[in-house]
Amino acid sequence: MAMTLLNAPAAGRDLVFDDEFLRKLEQLELLARKIFRGLLRGDHTTSRRGRGLEFSDFRHYRPGDDFRHIDWNIYSRLDQLFLKLHASEDDVTLHLILDTSASMRFGDPSKFDHARRLAAALAYIALHNLDRVGVSAFSEGLGAALPPIKTRHHMARLLTFLGELPCAGVTRFDSALGAFAMRTRNPGLVILISDLLGAGEIQHGIDALCYGGHDVVVIQLLAESEIDPALDGALRMVDAETGDEVDATVDEELRSLYQRSLQRHLQEMESFCRRRSVEYLRASTAIAFEDVLLKYLRQGVHLR
Amino acid sequence: MIEFAYPLALLSLLAVPILIALHLLRPRRRRIVLSTTTLWQAALKEREPKLGLRSMLRNLSLLLLLASAAALGVALAGPHWLTRTSEDADTVLVLDVSASMKTRSGIGKTRFDLALAEAFDIVDGLPREGRMLVMTSGRKAVLRTGFEADRDALRRALRELRTGDEAGRPREALALALSLLRGRNQGRIYFVTDGAFDRDVDPGSPQVAFRVVGEPARNVAITRFDFRQELASEERYQVLMTVRNYTDAPLVVPASVSLDDRVLFRRPLTLAAHAEQTVVLPFTGRARGQAIARIDVDDDLAADNQAYAAVYTDDTLRVLLLTRGNFYLESVLEALPNLVLVKRDGSPAEDIARLALDYDVVVLDGIEAPRLPAGNFLLVNTVAPGLPFSDSGRLVRPGPLVRGQSALMRDADLTAVRVDQARRIVIDKPAAGLQRLFWSRESDLALALLDADVKLVYLGFDLARSNFPLQAAFPLFFSRSLEWLRPRGDGFVSTHVEAGSTQTIVLPAGETRVTLRMPSGKSESLESEGGSALFDATADAGIYQYTVGEITRYFAVSLTDARESDVNNRWAPGEPRKEAQPAGKGVQALVPLWPPLLLLALLLLALEWCVWTGSRNRA
């Protein structure tokens, strides 16, 4: 292990990442290595044409093109000038976007803690893959951001950043994600970790990321109390983000209607992501984050 | 539109908020913070269509209790629904309450009892939405209800009716009833009567239906009774009594007259069938007290077997002054002794005949005088039409006044009297009773007239435009004029009025209240209006006593009406008339709502009990 996570700065470690987590992360490194063996070259071919070694295509020579890329063998055979194109070999920037709105406080463990641990793990794997990793937080708007880091030496900094993130405010997906898309110059892989509960058009926010040229992955975290609420009787429900109050007498019928409403919401999100070619993953806080991660790593297409 | 008979009963609706408050005391909602309420709101929205019914069913018991309490509260307030009913179907029930309705008819019953039963039958037979007005026909026609759809109200009004000793005037009652139904061609008038009136009472309208009750009856009646003072002597009096036999057989009827406890006269009168006998009985002595005439006969109508008269001495001269204001005239009249002066403004045209009866002298000063009825009048600066003299213009500063030889002007010195302006009088036709009191060269200025009905003194100038009030002749002229107009003698008065008529009681100056005691023993207080009080509750015959200040007086009320005492049916209906059917446009009527509301409250309570029992069993 190039870095001892247990030696990470106290702030992040104490607040969020306890020793057990850090140990799990170190084990995850080994696990990740096993899964991505042979792929960890530190480079990713992209769809952009560039100066990489891997052949991509031919095209006719146009005045001004670099003579060095002319394929002279073809010229000798066909007496025509063709340029030999190669795929660009850029390192990928992983943008982790964390929902830090008040609704993320719910769950046991909380969705927020779960999201931070998931982010830390993904960042660790990405850094191990020689990719850049940046972290941004959002709620009502775009919040604190950690500029992309390249090496695993900066992992402790990332953990500290995650550990110090607040969890409050109202979620505004459209404005927050739109601001992120506007601010980020280098498109990359965006992993949005959120409960996708809140005001504002979620679809608009994800669209903004797609239009910004990012490959987007959405991980929706839900608390078990949201998936199967154990509520009953006459209640005054208060929205943690907006403070809105709703009086309801919860019975079996209403719980059933809630489940139906939740399923409808989840299906809408899933089908939307599918239409946008956005990878969508749903997880509960009741499932250990490493299990989520492994499932993601096995099924996912973005980290090969 | 709903009206309430007892609006205070609506206070019982306060029970409704109390019930609601008790309901609200149930446990409060538990407060819980969630990550989002959006999904719950969506679920609630989905359940919303079912929510109303579900919530209602959950609170059904409370809702039923509330509805029951509200229905009971509103029922207690006695609501009436103002609905529309057929105006043309309106009915007027005229009930005869004249004295003849007291005639016996069967055992223990009178014609009035039969008439009431008939009236109740008519009320019961009203169309469902029909309205009825109840009125009585006595000496006056009196409306006892408005047009009323409430059968109970009509029955209550009927139960309160009673008959008096009045002589009936059914023609006036039917005319009033017809006027009430004017323009309602299908309206009906039921006249429940004994038919003891002349044939010409029937107005011949197809709207009038006569319901005649009673059987032929035997009656003997006192039809006249009066006291009078003989002119020759102040101590000699005459009693006049007329008794009529309405039966088909001759009768001998014991008759008597008493004054207080003293029997003045007692003897049998022999009466032929359908004949009358008048007796005039002279007597000497003091004629003061309550006089009662009686006949001792067992006939079917007892009300006319006695008659009353109040006999007393009254030196007071009751003078009514109609003026727009005359300081001199008022001063001199107020200064005269034993004179009760009542002053009024305005024209007396409408009720001059009644005023002339109520007052000993009516003084008209400077106002337009109507044609004078029978009575005593003093005209000052005004001329009434129909007199033997008339006004022919103005006279400025008439010449020296010349006094005539009339006793009214004896010792009156007019030499210093100056008149600025006077009326020029022309005597249209010489009259035997016309005396010239004083005059100038140009015209008569004062006259006295005595004819069959009218007795008057005329003064033809405005007192304010002469120095006459400053002369010694002035009070002398008015004192003698009033004395002449109503010679007082020893003030003997015999009063008796017809039952049901209005009695005017003149109050002395400064008195505003009169207390009356009726033959039944009941007392009533009246406030004076313009110096007199009108009393019209004289339906019962007998002696009425009234007290003004410390003075007590009497007046007597009797039937003494020969036509009313003729109690047999003198009327026969003509051709049967087609009865009108109710139809046409609507008018408003009151329909009581409390019975259905009470029933509703009870039903709701029963339903609530069922719901409560059911829920307890399920629990």
Q: What is the pLDDT of residues B180-237, one digit of tens each?
A: 887 766 688 999 999 888 877 788 788 888 888 888 899 999 999 888 777 656 677 8
Between B320 and B3, where is the model more confident?
B320
Q: Has residue B528 got a pLDDT over 80?
A: no
Contacts of B51 in chain A (CB under 8 A): none
- Residues 344..373 of B with a Cβ closer than 8 Å to A: which? none
| Cα–Cα dist B505/B316, whole Å | 13
Chain B interface test: which of A114, A201, A246 (most B C-beta within 10 Å)? A246
CB–CB of B43 and A260 under 8 A?
Answer: yes
In this structure, what token pair is assigned to residue B350? Answer: 């409408």
**Both structure tokens of B570:** 């003198």
> Which tens digits make up the pLDDT trace of B289-343?
888 999 999 999 999 999 998 887 666 788 889 988 889 999 999 888 878 888 8
Is the pLDDT at A41 greater than 80, yes or no? Answer: no
pLDDT value at B598 more than 60 = yes
What whole-number percentage of chain B has pLDDT above 90? 25
User: What confidence category does residue B52 fall into, taking pLDDT thresholds of 50, 70 and 90?
Assistant: low
If one compares B475 and A294, the residue with the highest pLDDT of the two is: B475
Omega within 30 of 0 (cis) for the link into B7: no
Q: Which of B31, B33, B43 sits opposite A258 (nearest CB)?
A: B43
pLDDT band for B114, please (50, 70, 90 cuts). very high
B47 shares contact with chain A (CB less than 8 Å): yes
Instruction: Choose the mutation target among B26, B28, B35 for the interface with A, i.e. most A CBs under 10 Å.
Output: B35
CATH code of B317-485, in short, is: 3.40.50.880
3.40.50.410, 3.40.50.2300, 3.40.50.360, 3.40.190.10: CATH of B83-216+567-592: 3.40.50.410
| Cβ contacts of A223 on chain B, cutoff 8 Å | 35
Among A236, A239, A257, the residue with its CB nearest the CB of B31 is A236
In a mutational test of the B interface, the residue from A247, A258, A263 whose CB has the highest number of chain B CBs within 10 Å is A258
Please judge whether A238 and B33 are an interchain contact, meaning their C-beta atoms are less than 8 angstroms apart: yes
Residue B98 near residue B117 (C-beta atoms within 8 A): no
Distance in angstroms (rounded) separating the CA atoms of residues A276 and A283: 20
Contacts of B596 (CB under 8 A, 6+ apart): none
Contacts of B33 in chain A (CB under 8 A): 237-240
Is residue B497 very low, low, confident or very high in pLDDT (cuts 50, 70, 90)? confident
Weakest mean pLDDT among A98-107, A267-276, B217-226, B232-241: B232-241
pLDDT band at B137 (very low <50, low <70, confident <90, very high): very high
CB atoms under 10 Å from CB of B264, counted, come to 17
- Residues 239-298 of chain B whose Cβ lies under 8 A from any Cβ of chain A: none
Interface of A with B (CB under 8 A): 102-106, 195, 197-198, 223, 226, 231, 233-242, 244-248, 253-254, 257-258, 260-262, 265
Distance from the B49 Cα atom to the nearest Cα atom in chain A, whole angstroms = 13
Residues of chain A found within 8 Å of residue B27, distances taken between Cβ atoms: 234
B53 touches chain A (CB under 8 A): no
User: Does the beta-carbon distance from A257 to B31 stay under 8 Å?
Assistant: no
Residues of chain B with CATH 3.40.50.880: 317-485
CA-wise closest residue to A272 among A192, A226, A211, A206: A206
Candidate from B18-22, B33-37, B163-167 with smallest mean pLDDT: B18-22
Most confident of A183-192, B138-147, B310-319: B138-147
> In chain A, where are the structural domains located?
5-39+91-222+286-299, 48-89
Q: How many angstroms separate the CA atoms of B603 and B54, rounded?
A: 23
Residue B246 has pLDDT above 80, yes or no: yes
pLDDT at B123 over 70: yes
CATH fold of A5-39+91-222+286-299 reads Rossmann fold (3.40.50)
> Quick one: how many helices (H) and strands (E) in chain A?
10, 10
- Asked if B22 is an interface residue toward chain A (Cβ–Cβ < 8 A), one would say no
Cβ pairs A/B, distance under 8 A: 81
pLDDT surpasses 90 at A99 = yes
Q: What does the pLDDT read at residue A12?
A: 47
Contact indicator for B203, B276 with CB cutoff of 8 Å: no
Q: Report the pLDDT averaged over residues B170-188.
A: 83
Residue A76 near residue A171 (C-beta atoms within 8 A):
no
Counting residues of chain B whose pLDDT is more than 70, the rounded percentage is 87
Residues of chain B with CATH 3.40.50.410: 83-216+567-592
Long-range contacts of B140-148 (CB under 8 A, 24+ apart): B140/B169, B140/B172, B140/B500, B140/B536, B141/B94, B141/B169, B141/B172, B141/B173, B141/B176, B141/B177, B147/B90, B147/B587, B147/B589, B148/B589, B148/B590
pLDDT > 50? residue A4: no
Torsion of CA B595, B598, B599, B604, to 10 degrees: 160
Query: Three-class SS of residue A46?
Result: strand
ipTM exceeding the 0.85 mark: no
Mean pLDDT of chain B: 83
For residue B295 the two structure tokens come to 């006949």
